[in-house]
């Protein structure tokens, strides 16, 4: 127990030290955070997402060379992965729209574009994925169609189209049937909701909308 507490405190201390150095090194970024906060937006530096991804994604078979870049209004993601006996570099741009948050739905659309998948180095020519990529049989301009080929899609995906997915987290039993989630949403959604989620500069912006009518009823 003592070792666990010591390790936890050490991790928190290192995180705070890193955050402090980040603030000192980027005063303009801090000013930008304050400006967005004043406009009702939460601004998250993409450096924070990069750090989080590097911290959480690890292991022998984990994706390597992760990249997270702003491609407004979306985020361009890239990674090197091992699949079907070959090393593949994959990248895609994702952007969220049509956000609907209510006591009975956590629904949004994930727009997909700029999909690029290529073998890395001297890829194994006998690998099925390398054969498909080299033959041109995969239509990368319609990434949704490729996802539709997955035998068992996650419960949260309620619809797949050529260039987008519709996701509703309430379709996941641990969320949709969780009374605490429902209670929080019933309390918050009449007065506050998310109006946008986009990138600008090197930040992810989450915009909030306050609904005065909901406040007046309380």
Share of the chain above pLDDT 90, in %: 45
Distance (Å, whole) CA 36 – CA 188:
21
Domain assignments of the chain as residue spans, ordered by start:
1-39, 40-216
Instruction: List, as one string, the DSSP characters of 189-213.
Output: TTTEEEEEEEEETTEEEEEEEE-HH
Tell the burial category of 42 from Cβ atoms under 10 Å away from its Cβ (0-12, 13-18, 19+). middle
Summarize pLDDT for 108-145 with one digit per residue, the tens: 999 999 999 988 877 677 788 888 888 888 888 999 98
Q: What's this model's pTM, rounded to 2 decimal places?
A: 0.79
Question: Residues 15-56: pLDDT tens digits?
Answer: 555 555 555 556 677 788 889 989 989 999 998 889 888 888
Distance separating alpha carbons of residues 61 and 121, to the nearest angstrom? 18
Write down the pLDDT at residue 8. Answer: 44
3-state secondary structure of 125: coil
């Amino acid at each position: 127990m003592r070792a666990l507490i010591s390790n936890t405190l050490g991790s928190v201390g290192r995180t705070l030290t890193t955050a402090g150095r980040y603030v000192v090194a980027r005063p303009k970024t801090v000013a930008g955070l304050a400006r967005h906060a004043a406009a009702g937006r939460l601004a998250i530096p993409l450096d924070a997402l990069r750090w989080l991804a590097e911290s959480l994604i690890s292991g022998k078979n984990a994706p390597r060379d992760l990249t997270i870049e702003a491609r407004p209004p979306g985020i361009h993601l890239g990674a090197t992965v091992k699949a079907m006996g070959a090393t593949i570099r994959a990248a895609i741009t994702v952007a969220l729209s049509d956000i609907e948050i209510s006591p009975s739905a956590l629904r949004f659309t994930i727009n997909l574009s700029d999909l690029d998948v290529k073998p890395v180095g001297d890829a194994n020519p006998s690998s099925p994925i390398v054969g498909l990529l080299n033959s041109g049989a995969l239509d990368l301009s319609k990434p949704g169609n490729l996802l539709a080929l997955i035998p068992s899609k996650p419960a949260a995906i309620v619809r797949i189209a050529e260039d987008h997915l519709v996701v509703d987290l309430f379709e996941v039993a641990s969320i949709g049937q969780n009374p605490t989630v429902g209670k929080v949403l019933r309390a918050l959604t009449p007065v506050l909701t998310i109006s946008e989620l986009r990138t600008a500069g090197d930040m992810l912006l989450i915009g909030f909308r306050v609904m005065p009518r909901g406040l007046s009823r309380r």
